[in-house]
Each structure stands twice: as C-alpha cells, then as structure tokens.
Amino acid sequence: METIIIFGIRAILEAIESGEPIDKVWLLKGNQSKLFEQLLYVLRENKITFSFVPKERLDLFSSKNHQGAIARVAAIKTEKMEPLVEQIMKNIDTPLFVLLDGITDTRNFGAILRSAAAVGVDAIFIPKSKSAPLNGDVVKTSSGGAYKVPISKVHHLKDVVYFLKAYKIPTIAITEKAKEIFYKKDLKGPLAVVFGSEDVGISNGLLKILDDQLKLPMSQSIDSLNVSVACGIIFYEILRQRS
C-alpha cells in the first residue's frame, strides 16, 4: 500500500473521519490539549495503532508544525477521468468541474481543495506533470478537503476538455486576458472552470480549445490574485447564483 505522512491533529482526525486507512500514528509525550484528547479517543475507538514518542522523534518525520501528532496513511486516492465524469453526469444535473493547469504550490492546491469541498465541487482534474504532489502539506492545508473532492490525474487536460465537450459541458477559462467580467455570466448550468498558475496562467494550447474566457475585476494597481483566493471567490459566485 502506497502511503504518505500527514501531520497535525485536525488533519489526522479528518483522515480518520473520511475512512482513509491509517497505518500508524505517533503522538508527542505529555500533550494535554482538548483536541489531543479528542484524537486519543478517536484512535482508541477505531482501534488505530499509536505510540507516544519524544518531540525529537516527531521532528525527524517533519519540520512542519505537527502539533504533536503525525500519521502514516494511505496515499490520497485518485480517479480515472472517463468513468468519474460518466458517473457524475448520471447522478448530478448541474455538475461543477474544476481543471487546474500548472498549480505546483502545495499550499495553494490544498487551499483550493478546501474551498472546493466547502462548495461541493464534483471533481478536480490535474495533469500528472507540473502539478503539486498529493502529500501531507496538501492534506493539512485542505483541512480534509483532499479526502472529500474526487481528484483525477490525467496525461493532458485537453483530454478532459474534449470529453466534457462531448457532454456539452461549457468550459470557461479564468484569465486576466479576458474582456468579460465573471459576475456578468450565467453560471447556473453545468460548468467546467479552468485555472492556471499565477506566473504563467493557462497554457495557450489549452486556452484555445475552451469555450469562453472570463476575469475577475481588479484594481489597476493589482494585475492578479493568488490562485487559491481567485478559486474561492469564483466558487462562491457559482454557489450564490445556483442558490
């Protein structure tokens, strides 16, 4: 079984709640916080193996803020693109798909997953290369979102776009190069939204095959937002319109 190391009490609690297989948990000796006690209770209830270790041992696993708890868990599961889309299209009338082109920062990726889980994004697609790894940093930043939104790794995002087009799903690029403001668009129907990295944006080859391009309004002093912030704003505008 492929595994990853996750750190932080809340991240471990979220992994357990999601039903992910937990191999082992290491806990800091002497920790007495209420959240720590909650983790102990959940570990015992679920018969998960754990042991108490000194801080030096935990620091060997991770230099991050581990809050006195580190776990070895099954790697985040990814889905095959075509069956995932087919299943969603059978069961959901107005699906929301998200494609991330070149998002390599783990904290940005984790924050996007957190927002996506909060608003009910149906699936996220990422390329196998030039994308943030599905590691402990992503899990912690996502606050459990990494386990709640289906993720599909594909060779080329173009394949996803063409497959969605076969289902007549509109594909929209979020880019500062666009002329139309995002808020003025009707977003109530099925939709696929594409985001690119802050430095490069969406690749030209991908941009050319998308149905539309939209942008967020900006002050003249700022030309772009952090991609995870932009995702959050756009996700909630879609949710607002659909509500």
86, 55: one domain: no
Please tell me the total count of domains within the chain.
2
Which residue do the tokens 């991330």 mark?
Answer: 100
198, 93: one domain: yes
69, 165: one domain: no
117, 200: one domain: yes
66, 85: one domain: no
CATH number of the domain within which 62 lies? 3.30.1330.30
Query: What is residue 143's predicted lDDT score, i.e. its pLDDT?
Result: 83
Domain boundary among 54, 74, 94: 74
CATH number of the domain within which 189 lies? 3.40.1280.10
37, 14: one domain: yes
Query: What is residue 64's predicted lDDT score, i.e. its pLDDT?
Result: 64
- CB-based contact 119:238 (threshold 8 Å): yes
List the structure tokens of 153: 């790794």
Q: How far is CA 169 from the centre of its chain?
A: 21
116, 142: one domain: yes
117, 165: one domain: yes
Query: What is residue 223's predicted lDDT score, i.e. its pLDDT?
Result: 65
Q: Dihedral angle at the C-alpha atoms of 147, 152, 157, 163, nearest 10 degrees? A: -120
89, 67: one domain: no
Domain boundary among 47, 74, 101: 74
The residue segments making up the domain with residue 131 are 81-242
List the structure tokens of 48: 């998960």
The radius of gyration of the chain's CA atoms, rounded to the nearest angstrom, is 20
Helix, strand, coil % in the chain, rounded to nearest 5: 40, 25, 35
> How do the pLDDT tens digits run along the chain, 243 residues long?
688 988 888 889 988 988 888 999 999 887 778 889 999 999 999 999 999 988 888 877 766 667 789 999 988 889 999 999 999 999 999 999 999 999 999 999 999 999 999 999 999 999 999 899 999 889 888 988 899 999 999 999 999 999 999 999 999 999 988 888 888 889 999 999 999 987 888 999 999 999 999 988 877 666 667 899 999 999 999 999 998
85, 67: one domain: no
Domain boundary among 39, 74, 109: 74
| C-alpha–C-alpha distance, residues 153 and 158, integer Å | 12
174, 91: one domain: yes
HEC sequence for the chain: CCEEEEECHHHHHHHHHCCCCEEEEEEECCCCCHHHHHHHHHHHHCCCCEEEECHHHHHHHCCCCCCCEEEEEECCCCECHHHHHHHHHHHCCCCEEEEEECCCCHHHHHHHHHHHHHHCCCEEEEECCCCCCCCHHHHHHHCCHHHCCCEEEECCHHHHHHHHHHCCCCEEEECCCCCEEHHHCCCCCCEEEEEEECCCECCHHHHHHCCEEEECCCCCCCCCCCHHHHHHHHHHHHHHHHC
98, 200: one domain: yes
